[in-house]
Structure 1
């Protein structure tokens, strides 16, 4: 997702890059005890020895209950790992057991990104893509702390969010628009503090990674088998850094650059979305530079005069940009983008508004999910950066040169996201070095708009020699597993048989 507005068992081998492991480790007989890492106090037995009671799943908010093959439970974790005997919160889990129980390898934990994505909600919908893995692994999804059923953060009402989308210009052109933009960002943070102040200081990625190790231990796995997508790669990198000896077979797909700070992520995404837009235009037989200029001109017209949509809502520039972003995540959605842009050129914004609503988690009744709330809370708990309006304004020309369509939006986003945030951030950039960990397969797609390919190479380097194994997918879209048969078969061979591909392997 956009920066700020964004998107088990069986250990690896000790093979160096370029070698293949020919055998897999047997399923562990007992779990490695959970720890907190980082010199924090040990966890009490009441947490490390808790037994899980799996029950029929209830329907998540705004969704429907999964099928009978799924079971749900809750794991208790410390609210504050510095005070492990203090207050706890529940982390919601969902599981589909391995089909071949005689050859079961253990549990596979998933995180689908965001931050703020609900694994309890997403995994049952996505599980069809992981059927081969489900033969020997229990598929396990979870809502990270601060998300949905795991003490989910809430910051504003549906009416307040609609008002923001209608009134606030996310690419302010005047002093008045700029002041309103910054005021809205501060109001969002104040709303989070009013409604979720108790958990707000503790929803960062480091604590979520500690939760993952407790989940691993309570599930009974000696090492963590993990599949992380998008932000899930940052979470996985944090886990690998904290618990390198507990890293089992692990795959990162659509990889976040761990070396980028807030402005760096925005710059990366400006480059990535512009690259995807140009690839889309070339695929449509259009000159990418001329096509970019035409779309940028359309956005300027919409900024001056929002488009009607056939409802009481108009399409403004900010919503139009969001609507353009969503179809760039997958090449299969490019025809939809063509239809939406053609409609907008003809003076109607209905399709782009529908796409923006889908991206923003707004349903037909005007109800928003809370992923955006959780995403901002987690991101701002992680980063120390608090760019000012002046700092954002200063980088607009650079970003506009990179992309006249997405650049100004993403430049201003750096300031609006954590404006006057009530909680201090943890670091400038996350730490992902993991000496002593088993091999981690890092999958980067050359046309990925949201997490550009360059980040995969940097993640592999950060993880360390013999740990980060780069797999390049020459293609389009945000994520490669399930879209590329070569990537899918390589990942399956690693998870199921322990076969580590050569570092630098390319799928095309």
Structure 2
């Protein structure tokens, strides 16, 4: 899941390059275990184009210049498709960067970003979110991000085409509870997997988080940095922790914000998700009922019942919308639209607007637009990014066959419903995971995050009201990394998915001090203080 909001880009990009450190001009040294054709590449940076629809379906212009006139630059690099066979096939990786204006001798290095998902495009997101990180650039870092393998323009995973995705969303949604619905759900799964195999088959076993961590280290090397300085959000924290495990001696200053729980058990993860989103929904409802005309009733309990009944009713009768193609608001799309607004307190107003529209007009246009944006669908053209199929492929490469059978899922329904009357009945179906049809069946590398002996400590940042990565997961990740000797935890008492982009001065100061000066906050520091 991504941590940055969509922004509108208004100015064009130009090259504006100046001579900088040796990595820009000279061929790097060899990289261990890779042929020189990969390990000694020189990135060919040039002006960035408009992001492709695979990266950002809403983009209409290239990224604009930064505050000091610095232009965004883009490049591609090749990495082994399979690091066990580095002389065989390759995968092309798309990168973006903005250089720091400080003199070469004051430059701190490259600061790599991953904004989550899995499946989010870093090439599209970093320029959109760059205002949040401008002090880090002005302080000495080149800001760098990338599309992970299997995402966006890094040979993004393709499954169903855009029209087929729309048709599948409209055909059936919700919880299958009749023989016909079970048959239809099974057919849809078979069609989806067959399309993934047909369009992305050779790539699917190789889009693991561990391989992306290896790509990160190759990029670090090719950009001329001795250590990896890294800022990861949401799934990006899992990627950062994986890198720390694989390359502890190459860890630089690292921040992991909105930390993923390391427990691989799908039931545990699913219950955490249901609990986290319900907590965020309760906070929204507590604020909503203080308004003069909250659309869901007079108190939070009534609001929960109203939303649960809405989702149940949509299974039998989807709501009409103003979409010209006749798309309707189904249960699954309404669920996505509601959840998408809970990632940030600043998005609550859009949920109120959408629910008011449903109450007053019986139409679901606004909630469908919110679901489309979250799913990477352009509401006008119907084009999708690769975000959703990439998400599935990466999860299934990391933990193939980790899901439960349908009968086992049914056995957990009551517990999920107890966690969340609204989200539980639908989140429980995430437990089916990667079924027997998925072409990757054996886990290549079980997840491991032990980073004992890391060259630098890591800073974990967790938000008490985070819906998608609940606070407790950060505590467990700290333990998995090796405890306070390896990672310190900074706690933010607030709402939303990600603390740094909340702009809380306490959080921003603590993180910036660590990245810019090497002053690490004491373990268990709290914000606001």
TM-score by length of 1: 0.90
SS at match of 1:198: helix
Shift of 1:187: 2.0
Larger RCO, structures 1/2 (Cα 8 Å, 6+ apart): 1
Q: Contact conserved, 1:382 with 1:425, CA < 8 A, in 2?
A: no
Shift of 1:428: 9.3
- The more displaced of 493-502 and 478-487 is 478-487
- The more displaced of 291-300 and 432-441 is 291-300
Aligned residue number for residue 10 of structure 1 = none
Aligned mates of 1:427, 1:452 — CA distance in 2: 28
Shift of 1:429: 6.2
Which of 378, 383, 393 is 2:410 aligned to?
A: 393
Aligned mates of 1:335, 1:359 — CA distance in 2: 16
Shift of 1:263: 2.6
Q: 1:7-406 maps to which residues of 2 (within 5 A)?
A: 34-35=31-32, 42-62=33-53, 63=59, 64-67=61-64, 69-102=71-104, 103-135=106-138, 136-285=140-289, 287-311=299-323, 312-346=326-360, 347-363=362-378, 364-384=380-400, 385-406=402-423
Aligned mates of 1:485, 1:49 — CA distance in 2: 41
Matching of residue 479 in structure 1 with residue 498 in structure 2: yes
Shift of 1:215: 0.6
Aligned mates of 1:427, 1:77 — CA distance in 2: 18
Aligned residue number for residue 431 of structure 1 = 448
Root-mean-square deviation (CA, aligned residues, Å) is 2.1
- The more displaced of 140-149 and 261-270 is 261-270
Aligned mates of 1:226, 1:475 — CA distance in 2: 24
- The more displaced of 413-422 and 220-229 is 413-422
Aligned residues: 478
- The more displaced of 341-350 and 138-147 is 341-350
Q: Contact conserved, 1:190 with 1:422, CA < 8 A, in 2?
A: no
Aligned mates of 2:30, 2:241 — CA distance in 1: 20
SS at match of 1:197: helix
Query: What is the CA deviation profile of residues 67-117 of structure 1, one whole-angstrom value per residue up to 9, with x for unaligned ones?
Result: 351111112111111101111121111110012134210000100011011
**Gap runs ≥5 in structure 2:** 3-20, 54-58, 66-70, 290-297
Change (3 A) 1:419 1:349: farther
Q: Contact conserved, 1:473 with 1:487, CA < 8 A, in 2?
A: yes
Matching of residue 453 in structure 1 with residue 471 in structure 2: yes
Query: What is the CA deviation profile of residues 417-441 of structure 1, one whole-angstrom value per residue up to 9, with x for unaligned ones?
Result: 5462111252796211101112111
**Gap runs ≥5 in structure 1:** 3-26, 36-41
Aligned mates of 2:358, 2:445 — CA distance in 1: 40
Shift of 1:386: 3.2
SS at match of 2:258: strand
